[in-house]
Structure 1
Amino acid sequence: MSSDYFNPNNHFAEQAKLNEQRARLEEIAARRELDAEKFRNQSNDSLIAQLRDKASVLAEKNHQLQRANAQLETDNKFLESLLSLPMDEIAAKNPRFKASHDAQQLALAKWILSQKAYAETAFVVGIAAGKNAEEILAIYKDSVSSVLANATKHNNNAVGNPVLKAHADSIIKRN
């Protein structure tokens, strides 16, 4: 055996075998590393695909929201311009508004009728009492001032009606 130990051919053969074993082990390690890298790449590819899909879905949702926002802005501008129109024109464009507007117009017409009837009655009574039209109109103007000043003799003050009370100052400024 001792002669084999010093045999240079055996030494190089042993070195070659060790190198071969080392190379096989390195190859196995490299293959394992390659397989692990392939697995990581596949995982990354899956993640990238998921992220692309999610980005695509979010981009579509964003696009839908932008369209909805643009529609809402258009609707808002339309409604603002609609509300700036006279009520008769709004009623002509919107059947639901027309129904409530017509009901308010009917109430206003009834109120105007009652005021015209009171005015006619005032003139009939005033003329029967010996007053002329100018005197009756002067009494009317004094009555308007008394109502707005909350100083009537028969409790017909402006404060008795919430709508009149809310607008009394505006009426006074305009008269």
Structure 2
Amino acid sequence: MSTRQTAVINGLLAENIGKNDLVRSYESKSHAAERRASDAEHSARMNENSARVADILSLRVERLENELRESKKEVQAHRELLSRPMKEIADVSSDFKKTYEIQQQMLAEWIMGQKAYRETAMQLGIALEMTPEQVQKVAAPNYKAVLENRTEHGNDATTSPTLSTYASAILEARKKSGKA
């Protein structure tokens, strides 16, 4: 082969190598552009998904806020109900009504017992030739004695947890009204 042919072949090879480098460079740029386009599509899909998720979460927040408002209304309604007399609460709530009626029956039995003792005291007083006013005068100091835990026969306020809890308030109210 002649030098000239070698030079031509080398020139063609160099030109071909240059073209190959150029092709590789363009292919590399093309792949990079495809990658960027794919990334952009992926980002767009993610943004669409994020927008959907944001919409879903927004609806959930709105629903929960509505539930919270309703719960607050319910709490307020229960507070208003509980501030009413127990008889009115019993008329609204069947569960409470059962308990209320049991409590009222216990209270009625207690009142009946108190009236029976009062009647017995009156009968004994009359048997001793006392007037009803004299019997009441004898009984009056016993109220204070019960509340102050000074009875002679163990009938102190401490024998009843409920009375014990309220004894001092009852005594104070009786003092203010002049009954103690």
| Shorter-chain TM-score tier | 0.7 to 0.9
Hey, what does 2:136 align to over in structure 1?
137
Q: Deviations over 1:7-52 (max 9, x none)?
A: 9xxx8x9997676545423321221111111221232123223322
- In the alignment, the residues of structure 2 paired with residue 3 and residue 72 of structure 1 have an alpha-carbon distance, to the nearest angstrom, of 97
Unpaired runs of 5+ in structure 2?
175-180
- In the alignment, the residues of structure 2 paired with residue 6 and residue 34 of structure 1 have an alpha-carbon distance, to the nearest angstrom, of 38
- In the alignment, the residues of structure 2 paired with residue 121 and residue 6 of structure 1 have an alpha-carbon distance, to the nearest angstrom, of 145
Post-superposition shift, 1:6? Answer: 10
Structure with the larger RCO, 1 or 2 (CA within 8 Å, 6+ apart)? 2
Post-superposition shift, 1:56? Answer: 2.4
Over the residues paired in the alignment, what is the CA RMSD in angstroms?
Answer: 2.4
- In the alignment, the residues of structure 2 paired with residue 65 and residue 6 of structure 1 have an alpha-carbon distance, to the nearest angstrom, of 83
Aligned residues: 172
- TM-score, normalised by the number of residues in structure 2: 0.83
- In the alignment, the residues of structure 1 paired with residue 153 and residue 54 of structure 2 have an alpha-carbon distance, to the nearest angstrom, of 77
Does residue 121 in structure 1 map to residue 124 in structure 2?
Answer: no
- TM-score, normalised by the number of residues in structure 1: 0.86
Post-superposition shift, 1:54? Answer: 2.4
Hey, what does 1:79 align to over in structure 2?
78
Task: State the identity as a percent.
Answer: 24
Post-superposition shift, 1:3? Answer: 6.3
Q: Please tell me the residue identity of whatever aligns with 2:40.
A: N
1:29-48 correspondence to structure 2 within 5 Å: 29-48=28-47
1:67-106 correspondence to structure 2 within 5 Å: 67-106=66-105
Which stretch of the first structure deviates more once superposed, 37-46 or 65-74?
37-46
Post-superposition shift, 1:113? Answer: 0.9
Unpaired runs of 5+ in structure 1?
none
- In the alignment, the residues of structure 1 paired with residue 94 and residue 163 of structure 2 have an alpha-carbon distance, to the nearest angstrom, of 30
Q: Please tell me the residue identity of whatever aligns with 1:52.
A: A
- In the alignment, the residues of structure 1 paired with residue 53 and residue 80 of structure 2 have an alpha-carbon distance, to the nearest angstrom, of 40
Hey, what does 1:60 align to over in structure 2?
59
Post-superposition shift, 1:60? Answer: 2.1
Give SS of 1:33's match. Answer: helix
Hey, what does 2:48 align to over in structure 1?
49
